[in-house]
Amino acid sequence: MSSAQAGLTPAAGEQHSTGPAAGSVALLQVILKDPDGKKFDRVSRYICRSELYEFDLAIDINIDIYPLKVGDKFNLVLATTINRDGAPETGKYDETFPTIAKRETLMDEFEYVMYGLIYKYKPDTGAGAVRVEVYASFGGLLMKVKGDPAKLAVLEVDSNVYLLMRKV
C-alpha cells in the first residue's frame, strides 16, 4: 500500500476492492443501532464489527441519506485520496471540481462517502490485547475504529480521510 493509500487491511476471508488506489476493504456488520438512545432526528450511531472480529467500529451516519439496520453488512474503506491512481490530494481548492462527475474516482464504487479529519489516536491495552482507537470527525459525524495498530498505523492525527461505504 502506498503512502497515498490508507485503509483497513482485511483479514483472511474479507474482500478487497478492485480499484488500484482503494487501499483495502473491510467487511463489517451492524451489531447495534443507537445504543445510548436517539440523540438527533437524522443521525444514528451504529456499532459494527468486522466479520472476523478484528475491528470494532462506532460511527454516526445520516440516516436520511444512508439508512442501515442491525444485521446489515457493508464494505468500508478509509482512504487519504479518492484518486484511482493513488495520487495524493493537494489540499487546495480544485477549480475543476464541478467536473468531478466526468472523472473516475473511488467514489464511483461506493454508495456513501464522507470526508473528515483524524483527531485522536489512542492505545488501548485493556484486556491484555494491544489495540488502538482512532477517532475521526466528518463535519460533526463521529467515528471510532478500534483494532490492530499495524493495520491502522496509516491513519495519523491531523490527517484528512475519506470514508467510503457500500452495502453487501
Q: Domain of 117: which CATH number?
A: 2.40.50.140
Residue 5 in any domain: the answer is no
For a pLDDT cut of 70, what percent of the chain falls above it?
75
Cβ distance 145 to 49 under 8 Å? no
pTM comes to: 0.80
How many domains is the chain built from? 1
pLDDT for residue 25? 80
Residue 10 in any domain: the answer is no
Cβ distance 69 to 30 under 8 Å? yes
Residue 12 in any domain: the answer is no
162: CB partners within 8 A, 6+ apart: 77, 78, 79, 80, 81, 82, 106, 113, 114, 115
Give me the residues of the chain with pLDDT under 50, please. Answer: 1-22
Cβ distance 77 to 25 under 8 Å? yes
Residue 7 in any domain: the answer is no
Residue 35 in any domain: the answer is yes
Question: Nearest 10 degrees: CA dihedral of 163, 8, 74, 51?
Answer: -160
Domain span at residue 120?
26-167
Name residue, grid cell 471510532.
144
Residue 121 in any domain: the answer is yes
pLDDT for residue 7? 46
Residue 151 in any domain: the answer is yes
Cell of 26: 473491510
As a whole number of Å, the CA-based R_g of the chain is 16
